[in-house]
């Protein structure tokens, strides 16, 4: 029987017993009924088995459970249910990792591009990447196109839509893409150097797929999507399509999964591993010292998971954002390394000399450290 392991951190509350908690987990995520009424041959065939257990503190354990591969069939949706279905409603269970090698064959392909092919594609060899967001919501397509031009003239590598921009009347999807694609071209003509525009395509599943195709048709260079709004499988579907555009994944709506330390999925597992397996070329996460709450240790762990050769997929570019300051970029390149795409918004918009000057300053820093 083929199997794969999932790793969990378990926290005991009150008078919980660790062995009983593990047994319940193995049951809840498979037969979902009292073991007394499960026939032996089914019990042996489908119920998870403890493969590893280590006590971390008085009430915290790290464990691995071995699951039959056939329980997930050939579907990512079934895998998600097995990974964190009913146990999402139980306290003290956090998924921290899994055996990707076994799942690669049947479910996951990873990024279509990843760090190496993105570097080839954009001719950026030995330095960090810069990126920014077009905003605010409420701006016209013309205004967003103008911002795009200003950033591109300053040399920002990747200019993406803010994830709040979809198809509102302020700046409808196609009109906005046309304006920004044109702005990118004009700036390239002016400067001799090309920036790359990634529109936001989140929508109902099939509409998101159509926007992915439409973005390519209109000359965009990549896309940004919120997988926890479309359903995460949609990103995987896109990564496997013929459409030749890299994908940035945005964590909107995902925070409840990662920000409670005793439950959910660890941030390095979700943003680093699962999103990478599902085909994200870039993974946006909220950086420490910004507007959100991850620690530097958690951010470093996300970077490591997104890039490590230990996973059987192309690596993803970590894309820290959410309050990154222009003044701190040297520190962050030193801390996170060059295989990072730094996402900077507010701090460029607030620059006293304007967006183009701010972008040039950012690029000078990045290239100097280069």
What 3-state DSSP class applies to 110? coil
What's the CA gap between 12 and 21, in Å, rounded? 8
Query: Looking at beta carbons only, is 308 or 325 nearer to a second copy?
Result: 325
Per CB under 8 A, 322 contacts a second copy: yes
What are the structure tokens assigned to 209, written together?
């797929």
Q: Which of 292, 300, 328, 360 binds a second copy (CB under 8 A)?
A: 292
Question: Is the link from the previous residue into 328 a cis peptide, with omega within 30 of 0?
Answer: no
Site for a second copy in 326-365 (CB under 8 A): 345-346, 349-350
Find the shortest distance in angstroms from Cβ 210 to a second copy.
12
First to last CA, the chain: 50
Per CB under 8 A, 318 contacts a second copy: no
Residue recorded with tokens 């047994």: 23
What's the CA gap between 341 and 338, in Å, rounded? 8
Whole-Å CA distances, 96 to 84, 268, 301, 370: 11, 8, 11, 33
Site for a second copy in 202-221 (CB under 8 A): 202-208
The strand pairing partners of 49, in sequence order, are 66
Q: Which of 59, 81, 325, 335 binds a second copy (CB under 8 A)?
A: 81
Site map for a second copy, 144-163, x if CB under 8 A? ------------------xx
Contact 67, 45 (CB under 8 A): no
Per CB under 8 A, 19 contacts a second copy: no
Site for a second copy in 184-203 (CB under 8 A): 202-203
Query: Looking at beta carbons only, is 118 or 247 nearer to a second copy?
Result: 247
Per CB under 8 A, 168 contacts a second copy: yes
Site for a second copy in 243-272 (CB under 8 A): 251-260, 263-265
What 3-state DSSP class applies to 290? coil
Query: Looking at beta carbons only, is 279 or 345 nearer to a second copy?
Result: 345
The footprint of a second copy on this chain (CB under 8 A) covers a number of residues equal to: 84
Q: Which of 2, 20, 91, 337 binds a second copy (CB under 8 A)?
A: 91
Find the shortest distance in angstroms from Cβ 75 to a second copy.
6
Per CB under 8 A, 310 contacts a second copy: no
Computed on alpha carbons and rounded to an integer, the radius of gyration of the chain in Å comes to 22
What's the CA gap between 239 and 280, in Å, rounded? 8
Give the range of 59-67, 86-94, 185-193, 361-369 binding a second copy by CB under 8 A.
86-94
Query: Looking at beta carbons only, is 21 or 307 nearer to a second copy?
Result: 21
Helical axes 232-239 vs 76-84, angle rounded to 10°: 140
Per CB under 8 A, 71 contacts a second copy: yes
Phi then psi for residue 71, to 5 deg, are -60, -30
Site for a second copy in 96-125 (CB under 8 A): none
Contact 130, 362 (CB under 8 A): yes
Per CB under 8 A, 48 contacts a second copy: no
Per CB under 8 A, 42 contacts a second copy: yes
């Amino acid at each position: 029987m083929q199997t794969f392991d999932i790793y969990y951190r378990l926290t005991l509350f009150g008078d919980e017993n660790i062995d009983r908690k593990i047994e319940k987990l193995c049951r809840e995520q498979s037969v979902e009924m009292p073991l007394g009424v499960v026939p032996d041959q089914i019990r042996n065939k489908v119920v998870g088995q403890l493969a590893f257990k280590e006590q971390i503190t008085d009430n915290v354990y790290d464990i691995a459970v071995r699951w039959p591969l056939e329980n997930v069939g050939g579907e990512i949706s079934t895998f998600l249910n097995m990974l964190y279905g009913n146990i999402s409603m139980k306290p003290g269970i956090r998924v921290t990792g899994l055996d990707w090698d076994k799942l690669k064959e049947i479910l996951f392909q990873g990024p279509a591009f990843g760090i190496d092919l993105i570097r080839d594609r954009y001719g950026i060899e030995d330095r960090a990447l810069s990126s920014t967001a077009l905003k605010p919501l409420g701006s016209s397509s013309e205004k967003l196109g103008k911002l795009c031009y200003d950033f591109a003239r300053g040399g920002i590598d990747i200019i993406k839509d803010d994830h709040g921009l979809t198809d509102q009347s302020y700046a409808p999807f196609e009109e906005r893409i046309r304006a920004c694609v044109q702005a990118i071209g004009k700036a390239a003509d002016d400067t001799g150097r090309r920036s790359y525009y990634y529109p936001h395509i989140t929508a109902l599943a099939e509409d998101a797929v159509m926007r992915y195709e439409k973005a390519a048709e209109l000359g965009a260079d990549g896309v940004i999507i919120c997988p926890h709004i479309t359903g995460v499988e949609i990103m995987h579907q896109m990564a496997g399509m013929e459409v030749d555009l890299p994908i940035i994944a945005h964590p909107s709506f995902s925070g409840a999964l990662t920000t409670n330390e005793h439950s959910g999925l660890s941030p390095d597992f979700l943003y680093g591993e699962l999103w990478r397996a599902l085909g994200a070329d870039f993974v946006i996460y909220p950086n420490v010292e910004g507007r959100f709450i991850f620690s530097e240790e958690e951010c470093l762990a996300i970077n490591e998971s997104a890039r490590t050769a230990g996973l059987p997929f192309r690596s993803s570019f970590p894309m820290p954002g959410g309050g990154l300051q222009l003044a701190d970029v040297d520190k962050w390149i030193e801390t996170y390394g060059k295989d990072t795409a730094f996402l900077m918004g507010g701090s460029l918009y607030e620059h006293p000399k304007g967006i183009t000057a701010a972008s040039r300053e950012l690029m000078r820093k990045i290239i100097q450290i280069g």
